[in-house]
Amino acid sequence: MKNVSSKERLVLRAARELEDGFYVNLGIGMPTQVSNHVPPGMKITLHSENGMLGIGPFPYEGEEDADLINAGKQTVTEMPGVSYFHSSDSFAMIRGGHVDLSILGALQVDAQGNLANWMIPGKMVKGMGGAMDLVAGAKRVVVTMTHAAKDGTPKIVERCDLPLTGVGVVNRIITELAVIDVTPDGLVLRERAPEVTVEEIQKATGPKLIVEGDVPVMDVGEEAS
């Protein structure tokens, strides 16, 4: 396996969540980079809540079109068959359950699959954006985030103490250390980064993780092999 940074590994692993034929919404930040790592031969349609269906990879430097942006105000490219529409139609798609997968960031996720990703009272207000609708309307929700906050405290907690974006909405958490599923029985450790042990992941996590046998190394696909 070639050397990849922890951030690159996280993005590559998130791209493995894509499935052929999916309609996918990518949140602001690291999730948007998944658009550059769609597996060869796979057809997905990227949706943006500002009214675009059929987003392509990010443009090369010097080839940007300022009229083509995603919900995070980043310049993007078009795929064949792209369509544009009012944001109200875009949210009708989300609320109507037509988005197969939403990949987005988080400030906290807890053992019940609750998500907090829009503000830290008195400190940070990122704005709700379309996150509340996406986590309620998408068929599957995957969170990508660093395992710990900048001060070293776990972002995977027993119970969120920040304002919630959605209740019981998260299906899977992908960090630079691990892949963790939210299940009715608790948080199940599915995969681990190659350089970390199960014990190290547990130490960096608030709730007790369920470990079922040997935990395989994180699958990041052929790009890192």
Angle (CA) 31-35-41 rounded to 5° is 135
Catalytic site includes residue 212:
no
**Which residue among 49, 63, 191, 222 is the active-site one?**
49
Return the number of other C-beta atoms located less than 10 Å from residue 7's C-beta.
13
Joined tokens for residue 167: 């209740």
Q: Sort 174 into a burial class: Cβ within 10 Å, 0-12 / 13-18 / 19+.
A: buried
Strands (E), 56-199: 78-84, 101-104, 108-110, 115-116, 119-120, 124-125, 141-144, 156-157, 172-174, 178-183, 186-192
Catalytic residue list:
49
